[in-house]
Amino acid sequence: MSKPPSEPYRGKNPLIRKLGRFVPLTQAECEVIEQVCQSSHQHRQGSDLIQQGDKPRTVFLILKGWAFRYKQLEDGSRQIMAYLLPGDLCDIQILLFEKMDHSIGLLSDAEVVKIPAAEILDLMDRFPRIERALMWATLVDEATLREWLLNVGQRSALQRLAHLFCELCVRLSVVGLVDEDESFVLPLTQTELADTTGLSTVHVNRTLQRLRKDNLISTLHGRLTILNPTKLAEIAGFNNDYLHTDGPPVEQQLRARVSQSM
């Protein structure tokens, strides 16, 4: 679990932090992103940004707080399919669909920007480097989804939770939300952990106790501290490659791609 150098958060725009990791951004590019983020709204925990069946009209950008993507079955069971953290933009391409096949809810009070389709398209036209970074981010989201399927399909309860915590730690540290002691705010109830990992709440509870007893994690006041990152990652079989947080050979990549296409 390699942790990127974590300068203190100091209010820097999380989207810039995230994209900057994929493609170094110019002053102008940063400014235009900042500008888009001006028009943010506050939303309350528990409300849905959009629901299954709705027609998507805007893309959501999370500036503060946590959101999550989920599907609900008739029998009341629910599967959480992604967490959307500060700096995350919920899939741009989704505008193509006439109906959402899932909902997006809020796990905490949140600051959200609603970006109309037009604005996103315009932004991507004018700033191809931003477009690239967004495409990259989309690919990472997909890779993450695949990893979740692997997690739920093949790993034990202990591994599933361990893996989830490793992933969240890496993702949060990218946007500066992890402290030096590997601790971070985790606004999830055990029910939500259960719906993420395909376990029951009771078993999530048991498993968390196990993780605590083995001195792998500790929880206090809604924060989670990873006490032994190495061991936790080992148990989980966690390999952060799929998150592509390390060195961005993106530029070379793209040059290669373009030259191929000539």
Partner DNA sequence: CCTCGGGAATCACATAGGTGATTCCGCCCA
Partner DNA sequence: TGGGCGGAATCACCTATGTGATTCCCGAGG
Sites of contact with DNA (CB under 7 A) = 156-158, 189-191, 198-200, 202-203, 205-209, 221
d(CA 166, CA 168): 6
> Rounded to the nearest whole angstrom, what is the least distance from the CB of residue 162 to a copy of itself in the complex?
14
Task: Name the binder of 12 from a copy of itself, DNA, none, CB < 5-8 A by kind.
Answer: none
How far does Cα 242 stand from its chain's mean position? 13
Task: Name the binder of 116 from a copy of itself, DNA, none, CB < 5-8 A by kind.
Answer: a copy of itself
Task: Name the binder of 90 from a copy of itself, DNA, none, CB < 5-8 A by kind.
Answer: none
d(CA 115, CA 136): 19
Question: Binding pattern to a copy of itself, positions 193-212, x when CB under 8 A?
Answer: --x-xx--------------
| Residue 191 half-sphere exposure toward CB, CA atoms < 13 A | 4
- Cβ closer to DNA: 33 or 186? 186
Angle at CA 192, nearest 5°, toward 172 and 9? 20
Q: Are residues 67 and 104 in contact, defined by beta-carbon separation less than 8 angstroms?
A: yes
- Cβ closer to a copy of itself: 146 or 212? 146
d(CA 44, CA 46): 6
Gyration radius from the chain CA atoms = 18
Task: Name the binder of 249 from a copy of itself, DNA, none, CB < 5-8 A by kind.
Answer: a copy of itself
Which amino acid belongs to residue 79? Q
Q: Which residue bears the tokens 């849905």?
A: 48
Q: Would you tell me which residues interact with a copy of itself (CB under 8 A)?
A: 71, 73-74, 77-79, 81, 91, 93-99, 101-102, 116-118, 121-122, 135-136, 138-139, 142-143, 145-146, 148-150, 152-154, 195, 197-198, 237, 241-242, 244, 249-250, 253-254, 257, 260-262
